[in-house]
Amino acid sequence: MEKKVLDLILVPTGLLLMFAYHFWLLVRVVKHPTKTVIGVNAIHRRSWVEAMMEDVPKNGVLAVQSIRNNIMASTLLASTAIMLGSLITVLMGTDNKEKTVTSESFGDRSQIGLSIKFFSILVCFMFAFLLNVQSVRYYSHASILINVPFKKLSQNLSHQMLTVEYVAATINRGSYFWSLGLRAFYFSVPLFMWIFGPIPMLFSCFTLLFMLYFLDVTFECGWVGADENVVKAEVDKHHIDMEIGKAN
């Protein structure tokens, strides 16, 4: 009974820390994008799309090859997720005696508890698979849109929705889904450590959060010193230039 109490206290604590950190990161990306790696990359992707669509005949092949590399990365993660999910399913169907031997640790060692642990890992990998499939979907759309000569079609009312911002938003959505799918892989590490007990699970949560913080936040050498008002002014100027080009 005392070992089960460890699961009831330490496991929710670790999960709460993970969710709290990602909620903080989400707020940071929305309100202060230049202070996060995700926000800075999104700004750079918009600039890249604009550069690629300035001269479609010249940059078309380069743009498609770059997006294809992203599609391959998403496909690799999706294939890995479904393979690991299948492996977890096989482990869930193994003999109960074998599962009891591998679960000798602090915390809940019952067969039901171990099944819950394996099922949590399985759900995590299934989410990773679905998120990476959505990433492939958006990248596939972007590979076609980025080669459309939108400047020649801008005078046609039926094509006014096709702009640099729309294509950039499509690529960014694909990147966001890829990042979420990768986060699902990260999230599976504490769940896997949960098999060995709630103490390794909580320790892995602290270690993972420490590593993710340095991967998600920009520092003095990057955009953290940049004036967000200047960045917003440049974006507004870009929108005004596009409107003037349409009017001409």
More confident position, 231 or 147: 147
Res 161: pLDDT: 54
pLDDT band of 153, cuts 50, 70, 90? low
Mean predicted lDDT score pLDDT of the chain = 81
How many domains does the chain contain in total?
1
Question: What does the pLDDT look like over 118-145, one tens digit per residue?
Answer: 999 999 999 999 999 999 999 999 998 8
User: pLDDT-derived band of residue 222, with 50, 70 and 90 as boundaries?
Assistant: very low
Q: What is the pTM of this model?
A: 0.79
Can you give the residue range of the structural domain that contains 187?
2-247
Query: In the prediction, which pLDDT does 13 show?
Result: 93
pLDDT in tens, 16-50: 999 999 999 999 999 988 889 999 999 999 999 98
Q: What is the 3-state secondary structure (H, E, C) of the chain?
A: CHHHHHHHHHHHHHHHHHHHHHHHHHHHHHHCHHHEHHHHHHHHHHHHHHHHHHCHHHHHHHHHHHHHHHHHHHHHHHHHHHHHHHHHHHHHCCCHHHHHHHCCCCCCCCHHHHHHHHHHHHHHHHHHHHHHHHHHHHHHHHHHHCCCCHHHHCCCHHHCCCCHHHHHHHHHHHHHHHHHHHHHHHHHHHHHHHHHCHHHHHHHHHHHHHHHHHHHECCCCCHHHCCHHHHHHHHHHHHHHHHHHHHC
